[in-house]
Structures are given as C-alpha cells and as structure tokens.
A and B are shown apart, each in its own frame.
Chain A
Amino acid sequence: AQSVTQLDSQVPVFEEAPVELRCNYSSSVSVYLFWYVQYPNQGLQLLLKYLSGSTLVESINGFEAEFNKSQTSFHLRKPSVHISDTAEYFCAVSVNGNKLVFGAGTILRVKS
C-alpha cells in the first residue's frame, strides 16, 4: 500500500518570502505524484502533477515541485509567496489511475 507523509502541519511565512512544503511518500512500485490546493470552504483543486519525464514540474501560479526518487520526496516550493497563496496544500500519490492517497495536509499561512 502507498502512504504520504506531509512533514509540517502548518507553515507560517511572510509575504514575498520563499516557502517549501515537504512531502514524502512510500510505495513499492512506481507512482504518480500530485499537489492539490484547498482554499477555505472550497473543494480541492489540482496544482501540479508528476506522471513521467522531467522531474521538475511547474504550476501556472509560480509553484514548482521536484520528484526525487532516491529520497521518495515531492516537495512543493515557491520563491515568493503572496497573501492569496494562503490555503491548505495536499500531497497525493497514485499507482493506479485516479485512486489517490492523500497526505494529512499543510496549512500555509502567508502574513503581511
């Protein structure tokens, strides 16, 4: 079975500072990896995904994540955060199509 560990439950950061949200996974087979974002009182939205190919994947709003197979990690980074990035972020893994296993989530709080 697969599992996902998000190492920080909350990450406070000042506006325009860089941020890294950490994600490690466990699986005995090859995986697909995802980051989803949840804004208050909304459903989750896909932020970015790694299926194959380049290990560095980017989103349209400046986030990026790098798949590191040797460290079984898929950390999410942004070089400069905005107030509007305040949300909860979920890392997820799949080995079989759309059956995703989610981590516990990391709340990103961006302060002015």
Chain B
Amino acid sequence: NAGVTQTPKFQVLKTGQSMTLQCAQDMNHEYMSWYRQDPGMGLRLIHYSVGAGITDQGEVPNGYNVSRSTTEDFPLRLLSAAPSQTSVYFCASSHLTNTGELFFGEGSRLTVL
C-alpha cells in the first residue's frame, strides 16, 4: 500500500525561487495537512484541509499556499523561498472520524540558500 506519498524527497532552492511540494494519499482520507519540522521545535502545522475545496491556515502559514482540488492531492507551494523555510516538511492525512490518527509521509527535506 502506498499510503501518503511525498515528492520530492530532497530539494535545494535559491532565495526567491518558488516550488511545489507534492502530497498524495490513496486511503480516501478527508483530512490532509502539512507540517514543518525544525530541530528543538517539534512539528508545526502550516495548512490543513478537511475535504476537497476546503483549506485553512495552521500555526505558521506565512509564505505558503495550498489547494485541494481532489481528495487525493494536497500540494504545498512556496511562493518566494527564504532561508527561514529551510526545514523538513511532512504531509499527513486522516479520516475525520479517526481523531488524531494521522498517517505521515516520509518527508521532504528543503534547503534554501
């Protein structure tokens, strides 16, 4: 089973460049979310979605955009990359009825120079 698939696994950007991190899940989960993981800070919620066409901001949304055109896909866009966005990004999904039981992808490591 594929579960939650993130691409790319590694990416290096220059300041000011834009890019999209892809996330796809094959479990028919209504809920999808993006977190960033930084040393000593745990995971912080960037954006989330409770279904196709519905997105909302998390704790640290600035500099990121999302869309949810299908149940399966939830891409994260960096509009103009900054060194402060160097991080490991995780996509996670869940059924809305399974409180807190998130399924995580393997992560995307982004470095902004």
A residues adjacent to B (C-beta < 8 A):
4, 6, 9, 32, 34, 36, 41-46, 49, 51, 90, 92, 94, 97-105
Contacts and interface: CB of A to CB of B under 8 A. Distances in A.
Nearest to A92: B100
B106 to A, nearest CB: 5
Interface string B29-43: 001010100001111
A46 B105 contact: no
A85 B44 CA distance: 24
Contacts of B107: 41-43
14 contacts: A41-B106, A42-B106, A43-B90, A44-B43, A44-B102, A44-B104, A51-B100, A90-B43, A97-B96, A97-B99, A98-B31, A98-B33, A98-B94, A98-B102
Contacts of A90: 42-43
A6 B41 CA distance: 11
A82 B96 CA distance: 34
B26 interface: no
Contacts of B51: none
A46 B107 CA distance: 16
Contact of A103 (B42, B59, B92, B94): B42
B99 A98 contact: yes
B31 A43 contact: no
Nearest to A49: B100
A92 B45 CA distance: 12
Given A41-B106, A42-B106, A100 B42 contact: no
A104 B104 contact: no
Nearest to B38: A104
Given A9-B40, A44-B43, A98 B96 contact: yes
Contacts of B104: 43-45
B102 A46 contact: yes
Contacts of B40: 9, 104
Contact of B41 (A49, A98, A104): A104
